[in-house]
């Protein structure tokens, strides 16, 4: 991951070096030195914080749990990023995710820097009381680096509004008399959270796809039809016809994305497959997504994985291995699980012509290059899954002002923000041969570099 991070920064800076409109005051040797400074600053985190949480278990044992909080860059504002609860969490992963948060905030013009947290646990292996202790310990161990104007955590894989409520309560207790509502986002509405926050990422993921395939293509069809750009040809080949959709992952992001697709009146798409950690469910005629959402709500988030469960829920589907969803013969694949799902080992078997990344880093660099060369349209994580951090910003803002938006106001601001980004990036994507991910990276690096230069941090 570290090599990939450095590659992203280097390629973006190489593309900007010869652009004379970018930082025009920097010339010759001064320009070379400034770009070297940018490379060094952006390819490394500012701080990596690590602690081992001491956790007394209910059976009387005591365990030590590795945990992290990484601060990548705060040129644009306080650090911002989720706390991941997962047994695979490690320092390199959290550092890379913090880096991606920096770029994501820069791309969408959200006034935050990039941060990320992680706790090495399988939350389903602990009782609610033990999970509460983990949350309390995390805040105690990292209290010195988090806060409304320093670093604002949020939910991530394995965590949700319950954990954020617990953490904010502990932060308030430790920092008595100080502002606390903005210390964590993704909280419950009753505890100062924003309406629409839980659904924000999934709604943003599907909107990104819908805006491209419906709004943007219809408005620019004449110009794009004459384009030799391979991505334009692919996108147009899927426009205005029925589409089959598969959604990998059925948590907060995947379930909302699938439901948005199921309800969409703009595009004729049907969700034929969904998957989670246990299995893939497939129905060529389309799955009953509302019924699946209802089932997971009462089964700790798990999809039906037996014929008995399908029958009791009234759902018609065949059960297949969970990996099958990635290589199915479908039009659109939404990736809403974990990182590194499309990789060197399965890239040649991917049949979807459009891939939308709801998870962070679900496609490796090798798979991304291979699929892009084939003309596959990939809507990358940095663009598609920013709904969470955008609404987190709105929640943070509401907490500071103690005035709260309606769900409709939150949704409208989310869509407006993502539409503005799409309108900025898509013309570049269809106007040059760069994949969309690279266009997004270049735009983010350009904004970060301009701010760092103006702040005098390159000398």
Selected catalytic residue, list 80, 116, 347, 417: 116
The total of other beta-carbon atoms located within 10 Å of residue 322's CB is 19
Q: CA 346 → CA 62, 325, 370, 387, distances in Å?
A: 41, 12, 11, 29
Buried b (16+ CB within 10 A) or exposed e, 115-141: bbbbbbbebeebeeebbbbbbbbbbbb
> Angle at which helices 2-17 and 28-42 pack, to 10 degrees?
160
> Could you give the CA distance from residue 165 to residue 187 in angstroms, rounded to a whole number?
5
* Contact criterion met (CB below 8 Å) for 302 and 311: no
* Contact criterion met (CB below 8 Å) for 83 and 156: yes
Give me the DSSP letters along 325-349: GGGSS-SEEEE-S-S--B-TTTGGG
> Could you give the CA distance from residue 404 to residue 349 in angstroms, rounded to a whole number?
47
Closest residue by Cα to residue 163 from 135, 193, 133? 135
> Could you give the CA distance from residue 377 to residue 350 in angstroms, rounded to a whole number?
12
**Is the sign of the CA dihedral 213, 216, 218, 222 positive or negative?**
negative
Residue with tokens 């509004």: 161
Q: Write out the two tokens for 86.
A: 């997962």
Residue with tokens 């898509």: 426
**203 tagged catalytic:** no
Contacts 24+ apart (CB under 8 A), 4-10: 4/96, 4/365, 5/43, 5/96, 5/99, 6/39, 6/43, 7/365, 8/103, 8/441, 9/38, 9/39, 9/42, 9/43, 9/445, 10/39, 10/43
* Contact criterion met (CB below 8 Å) for 87 and 37: no
Q: Is residue 55 classed as helix, strand or coil in its secondary structure?
A: strand
**β-strand 377-379 against 280-282: which pairing, if any?**
unpaired
The total of other beta-carbon atoms located within 10 Å of residue 87's CB is 12
Q: Write out the two tokens for 258.
A: 């699938």
The set of residues, in sequence order, having a beta carbon less than 8 Å from that of 68 and lying 6+ positions away, is: 48, 49, 50, 89, 91, 94, 116, 117, 118, 119
Residue with tokens 């892009």: 372
Catalytic residues: 116
């Amino acid at each position: 991951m570290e090599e990939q991070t450095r590659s992203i920064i280097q390629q973006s800076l190489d593309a900007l070096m010869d652009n004379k409109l970018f930082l025009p005051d920097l010339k010759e040797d001064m320009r070379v030195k400034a770009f070297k400074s940018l490379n060094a600053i952006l390819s490394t985190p500012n701080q990596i914080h690590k602690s081992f949480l001491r956790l007394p278990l209910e059976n009387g044992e005591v365990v030590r749990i590795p945990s992290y909080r990484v601060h990548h860059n705060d040129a644009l504002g306080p650090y911002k990023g989720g706390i991941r609860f997962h047994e695979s969490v490690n320092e390199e992963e959290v550092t890379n995710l913090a880096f991606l948060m920096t770029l994501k905030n820069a791309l969408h013009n959200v006034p935050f820097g990039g941060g990320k947290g992680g706790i090495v646990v399988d939350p389903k292996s602990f009782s609610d009381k033990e999970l509460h202790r983990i949350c309390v310990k995390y805040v105690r161990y990292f209290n010195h680096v988090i806060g409304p104007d320093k670093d604002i955590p949020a939910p991530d894989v394995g965590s949700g509004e319950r954990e954020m409520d617990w953490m904010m309560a502990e932060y308030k207790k430790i920092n008595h008399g100080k502002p606390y509502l903005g210390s964590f986002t993704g909280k419950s509405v009753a505890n100062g959270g924003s309406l629409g926050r839980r659904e924000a990422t999934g709604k943003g993921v599907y909107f990104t796809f819908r805006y491209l395939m419906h709004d943007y293509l219809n408005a620019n069809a004449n110009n794009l039809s004459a384009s030799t750009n391979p991505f334009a040809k692919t996108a147009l080949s899927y426009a205005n016809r029925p589409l089959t959709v598969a959604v990998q992952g059925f948590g907060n992001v995947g379930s909302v994305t699938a439901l948005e697709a199921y309800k969409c009146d703009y595009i004729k798409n049907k969700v034929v497959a969904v998957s989670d950690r246990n299995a893939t469910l497939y129905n060529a005629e389309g799955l009953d997504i509302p019924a699946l959402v209802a089932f997971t709500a009462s089964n700790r988030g798990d999809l039906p994985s037996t014929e008995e469960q399908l029958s009791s829920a009234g759902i018609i589907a065949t059960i297949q291995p969970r990996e099958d969803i990635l290589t199915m013969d479908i039009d659109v694949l939404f990736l809403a699980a974990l990182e590194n799902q499309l990789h060197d080992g399965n890239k040649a078997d991917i049949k979807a012509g459009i891939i939308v990344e709801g998870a962070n880093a679900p496609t490796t660099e090798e798979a991304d290059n291979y699929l892009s060369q084939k003309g596959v349209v990939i809507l990358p994580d940095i663009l598609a899954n920013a709904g969470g951090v955008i609404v987190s910003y709105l929640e943070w803002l509401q907490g500071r002002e103690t005035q709260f938006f309606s769900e409709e106001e939150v949704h409208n601001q989310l869509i407006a923000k993502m539409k503005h980004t799409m309108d900025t990036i898509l013309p570049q994507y269809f106007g040059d041969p760069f994949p969309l991910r690279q266009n997004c990276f270049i735009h983010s690096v350009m904004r970060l570099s301009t701010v760092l230069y103006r702040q005098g941090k390159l000398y």
